[in-house]
């Protein structure tokens, strides 16, 4: 109920500090304006209308999604200029076509000639064009055609020459920034990715092709390099929530993390020197397991505790050293977990409890599915 304290919620519960969300979004907008590059925020972390409005400044334009469920959800609520930044799945071409024929601007991404052939065989109605971004791998090692391969330029040329298709842009995700520690390393990867993309754009220009360019990851966009001003767009997403992982990388401080998971002590286990809590991996995710000295998350205000392990609905908490003082943690005690990875944690929850200064101001309901 609005106005209630978040401490009154049934647990486990994911809570979002809307003031921190707005601050994070404003800083990223100002950062991109300062660099002189268009911000196209990614929706995959939160998947909600309310947060999308905050990230776009209420414009409901120029967003990135990672699933067609997200694309349809946002389109159904008045969003446009949507980029489906996932190498186009062969079983979803018809759904992509429907969105392309319905919206003013729906854009897809590909990294293989076979995907281009599928688009060629499915012309859009009323003379509309498929708006295609070429996905480059610039060192991230996930999806994309390797930027240095001759086939990358050949594929870009093929896209630009295919009837009914437009090469709208070149897209690279510098997710290898997630292996960094500190601003210097982050900016080195951001610079390398930017350089590779700009070099590829020069190759395109040499054969008479002009289009947009975009790179993105929350670390690189939290600490942009000046050459990013030569890009058309950037596409970070996690920054609106941030998390422990981002704080360790150097993208943010813990005060910038907008999400927490509330949990309660439901058991004392003196024979194991442990507390049992009502949050397992179904309320937090297993992402981050083994990566923190505090276990699967940080327990706010309790540096002496660690979340040792989780089953689906239970968590086991133990002291960093010594014996637990069970009188300090009676049954029902509320503990606050700061998640390692907010994207994975958010995916565990059907609703986010939104608060300002600890009092509830509403609920955000994310879309789900693919």
| CATH 2.40.37.20 is the classification of domain 254-364 | yes
Write out the two tokens for 54.
Answer: 């905050």
Amino acid 1: pLDDT: 76
Contact 119, 162 (CB under 8 A): yes
| Cα-based angle 342, 60, 354 (whole degrees, multiple of 5) | 40
DSSP state of 182: S
CA–CA gap between residue 34 and residue 229 (Å, rounded): 9
Nearest to 302 by CA among 338, 345, 249: 338
List Cα–Cα distances, 284 to 12, 34, 134, 215, 232, in angstroms: 9, 35, 34, 29, 36
- Could you please state the CATH topology (level 3) that the domain comprising 36-239 is classified under: TIM Barrel (3.20.20)
**Residue ranges of the alpha helices (H) in 174-295?**
183-206, 218-222, 244-249, 281-284
Using only C-alpha atoms, what is the Rg of the chain? 22
Amino acid 2: pLDDT: 84
Which H, E and C letters describe 303-356, residue by residue?
Answer: CCEEEEEECCCCEEEEECCCCCCHHHCCCCCEEEEEECCHHHHHCCCCCEEEEE
Amino acid 236: pLDDT: 98
Identify any residues that bridge with 52 across adjacent strands, giving them in sequence order: none
CA–CA gap between residue 211 and residue 199 (Å, rounded): 13
CA–CA gap between residue 353 and residue 268 (Å, rounded): 28
Nearby residues of 327 by Cβ (< 8 Å), 6 or more positions away: none
Strands (E), 93-223: 106-110, 130-137, 145-146, 165-173, 212-216
Nearest to 166 by CA among 116, 215, 232: 116
Stated pTM of the model:
0.96
Pairing of strands 352-356, 13-17: parallel
Residue boundaries of the structural domains of the chain: 36-239, 254-364
Chunked into runs of 10 residues, the chain (370 residues) has average pLDDT values of: 93 98 98 97 98 98 98 98 94 97 98 97 97 96 94 98 98 95 97 98 98 97 98 98 98 98 98 98 93 95 96 98 97 98 98 98 97
């Amino acid at each position: 109920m609005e106005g209630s304290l978040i401490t009154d919620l049934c647990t486990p519960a994911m809570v979002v500090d809307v003031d921190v969300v707005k601050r994070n979004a404003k800083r990223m907008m100002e950062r991109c304006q300062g660099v002189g590059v268009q911000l196209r925020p990614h929706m995959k972390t939160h998947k909600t209308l309310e947060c999308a409005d905050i990230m776009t400044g209420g414009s409901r334009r120029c967003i990135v999604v990672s699933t067609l469920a997200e694309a349809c959800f946002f389109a159904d609520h008045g969003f446009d200029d949507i980029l489906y930044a996932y190498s186009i799945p062969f079983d979803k071409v018809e759904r992509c076509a429907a969105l392309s024929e319905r919206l003013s601007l729906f854009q897809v991404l590909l990294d293989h000639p076979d995907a281009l052939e599928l688009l060629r065989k499915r012309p859009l109605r009323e003379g509309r064009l498929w708006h295609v971004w070429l996905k480059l791998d610039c060192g991230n090692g996930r999806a994309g055609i390797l930027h240095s391969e001759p086939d990358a330029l050949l594929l870009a040329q093929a896209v630009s020459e295919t009837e009914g298709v437009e090469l709208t842009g070149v897209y690279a995700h510098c997710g290898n920034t997630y292996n960094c520690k500190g601003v210097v390393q982050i900016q080195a990867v951001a610079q390398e990715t930017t350089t590779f993309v700009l070099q590829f754009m020069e190759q395109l220009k040499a054969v008479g092709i002009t289009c947009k360019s975009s790179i993105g990851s929350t670390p690189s966009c939290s600490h942009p390099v000046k050459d990013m001003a030569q890009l058309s767009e950037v596409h970070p997403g996690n920054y609106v929530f941030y998390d422990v992982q981002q704080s360790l990388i150097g993208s943010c401080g813990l005060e910038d993390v907008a999400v927490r998971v509330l949990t309660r002590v439901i058991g004392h286990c003196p024979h194991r020197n442990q507390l049992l809590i009502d949050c397992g991996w179904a309320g937090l995710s297993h992402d981050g397991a083994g990566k923190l000295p505090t276990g699967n998350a940080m327990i706010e205000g309790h540096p002496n505790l660690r979340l040792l392990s989780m089953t689906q609905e239970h968590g086991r908490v133990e002291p960093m050293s010594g014996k637990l003082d069970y009188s300090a943690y009676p049954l029902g005690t509320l503990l606050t977990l700061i998640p390692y990875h907010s994207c994975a944690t958010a995916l565990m929850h059907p609703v986010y409890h939104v608060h300002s200064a600890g009092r509830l101001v509403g609920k955000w309901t994310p879309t789900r599915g693919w």
